[in-house]
Structure 1
Amino acid sequence: MGGLTRADSASMHEHDVTSPDGTRIRGWRTDNPGPPVLLCPGLGTAPEVWPMLLVPDLGARVLSWYPRGTMGSDRPADESRIELADHVADALAVLDAAGVRRCVVMGWSVGVMVAAELARRHPERVSGLMFTAGVPGDLFGAMLSSLGIPAVLRRALTLTGTHALRAMSPLIDAVMQRVPMNKVTATVAQHSGLMLPGADTQAVIRMLRQFVQHDWRWYFTLALAVSSVPARDLRGVTCPITVLAGQYDLMASPERAAKPVAMLPQARVRIVPTSHFLPLEAPDVVVEELRMLLRRVVAVERARDLARPPSRDPIDALIPPALTYGSRLRT
């Protein structure tokens, strides 16, 4: 199934939504049957990174978007409007456009920060969380952690390196536009350390062809805009959480990915023998854990409904708790 293409998924559609600051955001969705799931994307990543989320029998309807200034989404008129709060506003705009009041929220890489912040600021919109190969804060401090480099030093290294890459962006643009994306390129990428062998080669090729088209100065500008977000305390988040961490992830080690949820009673952590590109290298695990999370959410919300005091409204008293939850899940 790793080789699924957009053409194979007739239910995948792109559409435009408008964020509160007026920025036009390109969203995408699947029309599969099942409860809605919001996917907070990594920077500049296409649906091809998540091949299994496009399959018709997933059991969930996926909603997502492309970050500001990438892959069809406009840059904001005020180009400073690319902070974490702006990405959260885009997520809410996608939910509102789809008429979804509350759902499970997933995130990968930088998208984990967006998903976590959405849950912190708007817990009423989030029924469950899945963090995939990412951390909810201190993005640059989490990089290279698996190499044993001290936190202060690796944060300085990664920040300096990202500033240098932004300065070199014209050269990167010129090189990327000339490199053919084929089986050889994909094989090199899968042995680079940033990725590992195991993903479907054709899926990797399709992902790379989308990825290299970025304006790289803007891409690194987006990354630097969220670099100052500190480590987040998630103790106030009470919904079920699943953390999927790549054992060989250079961008967010398993320890850094698991630490923010270590004290949460509803958290489940699974370490997978993959790199940062866990959705490509272990797509079956993603689907398995998503389906399990959806079942956990149903159980938790049903228990909470049953534990609530009886309503004083005689109309509400006639509605069974399970029916109330089912209606909310289908919104």
Structure 2
Amino acid sequence: MREHDLIAADGTRIRGWQTESDGPVVLLCPGLGTIPEAWPALLLPSSGVRVLSWYHRGTMGSDRPADPDRITLDDHVADAIAVMDAAGVARCVVMGWSMGVMVATELATRHPERVSGLMLTAGVPGDLFGGMLGVLGVPAPVRRPVALTTARALRFAGPLVDAVLHRVPVNRVTATAMRYSGFMLPGAATADVAAALRRFLRHDWRWYVTLALALADVPDRDLAGITCPVTVLAARYDILADPRRSTVAASVLPDARVRVLPTSHFLPMEAPKVIVDELGLLVERALTADSRAAS
């Protein structure tokens, strides 16, 4: 994996990254503030694809925009396009995880000519905060206000959160504790969890929550207009993205493959082989669909 800088449509400097593997190009719309280490199987040459991605504005080397309000869904979609353009990629399979599902589906809706296939992993296409807490049995009408109140409290306490999380030692003990926390499940490898935590905990947490809250008004999305092949991987024990919301959203699509896996929200780390296998199948489906459309 190597990193590089590119300039977004509004002039913001974005830090992109890509793998050096051979194979078809796949654009990864990342989960909020996540890092390549969260996708261990995609970093290996055996993944069969070359992955393009980026770090969100103000995180991991990407600049904050000059206008602090330029962190909306529109801006994230524009950044995704900028990553593709910088790599000279006109059209490819697009995948998203968590918040990245919103970006990936919006990209496919607005720019269908750029998206040959779509993989949606442990995320909802809209109403980010309303999609939380469903597997805990929290009633639907109160999920959004509870999640929003919690996020606003975390933003207010950002400096205190930084002071704590920036001092947490990352080793086998803390990684194992995370794997058995219930927020994450033991399917993830300890070494992979430690590698991801080492960078993720270093966020400016007030800014991190600000990025999330900037998406709070994005409504639930109807995906009916998407016609490319779609794969949905939902996580049965996902606290942050209700798997029922993910599967219902896909039910209107004519060419959707849906799987519900026994994982937490961290499906890319807990089921890495499934990610690679399903991505390979989706690439083949996308190539077949493009061939039929051209004939």
Q: Give the alignment's TM-score, normalised by structure 2.
A: 0.99
Q: Does the alignment pair 1:97 with 2:86?
A: yes
Match among 67, 76, 82 for residue 78 of structure 1: 67
Tell me how far apart the structure 1 counterparts of residues 167 and 116 of structure 2 sit (CA, whole Å): 44
Tell me how far apart the structure 2 counterparts of residues 305 and 115 of structure 1 sit (CA, whole Å): 24
Q: What is the CA distance between 1:146 and its match in structure 2?
A: 1.3
State the partner residue of 1:276.
Answer: 265
Matches within 5 A, 1:1-16: 12-16=1-5
Match among 109, 126, 131 for residue 137 of structure 1: 126
- Count of aligned residue pairs for this structure pair: 295
Structure number with bigger Rg? 1
8 A Cα contact 2:134 2:239, kept in partner: yes
Deviation by residue 1:169-196 (Cα, 9 ceiling, x = unmatched) = 1110000121101111112211222101
Match among 208, 212, 215 for residue 201 of structure 2: 212
Tell me how far apart the structure 2 counterparts of residues 179 and 234 of structure 1 sit (CA, whole Å): 41
Letter in 2 for 1:139: L
Q: What is the CA distance between 1:241 and its match in structure 2?
A: 0.4
State the partner residue of 1:63.
Answer: 52
Deviation by residue 1:237-270 (Cα, 9 ceiling, x = unmatched) = 0000000011111111221111111011111101
Match among 229, 246, 260 for residue 249 of structure 2: 260
Q: Does the alignment pair 1:183 with 2:211?
A: no
Q: Give the alignment's TM-score, normalised by structure 1.
A: 0.88
Q: What is the CA distance between 1:71 and its match in structure 2?
A: 0.2
Runs of 4+ residues over 2 Å off in structure 1: none
Matches within 5 A, 1:192-271: 192-271=181-260
8 A Cα contact 2:24 2:50, kept in partner: yes
Q: What is the CA distance between 1:148 and its match in structure 2?
A: 2.2
Q: What is the CA distance between 1:149 and its match in structure 2?
A: 1.7
**Aligned-pair Cα RMSD in Å:** 0.8
State the partner residue of 1:120.
Answer: 109
Structure 2 gap ranges (5+):
none
Q: Secondary structure at the match of 1:16?
A: strand
Structure 1 gap ranges (5+):
1-11, 307-331
Tell me how far apart the structure 2 counterparts of residues 150 and 198 of structure 1 sit (CA, whole Å): 28
Q: Secondary structure at the match of 2:259?
A: strand
Tell me how far apart the structure 1 counterparts of residues 137 and 251 of structure 2 sit (CA, whole Å): 21
Q: What is the CA distance between 1:88 and its match in structure 2?
A: 0.4
State the partner residue of 1:146.
Answer: 135
Letter in 1 for 2:12: T
| Percent identity for Structure 1 against Structure 2 | 64
Q: Secondary structure at the match of 1:161?
A: helix
Tell me how far apart the structure 2 counterparts of residues 54 and 187 of structure 1 sit (CA, whole Å): 22
8 A Cα contact 2:236 2:263, kept in partner: yes
Q: More deviation in 252-261 or 46-55?
A: 252-261
Tell me how far apart the structure 2 counterparts of residues 181 and 192 of structure 1 sit (CA, whole Å): 15
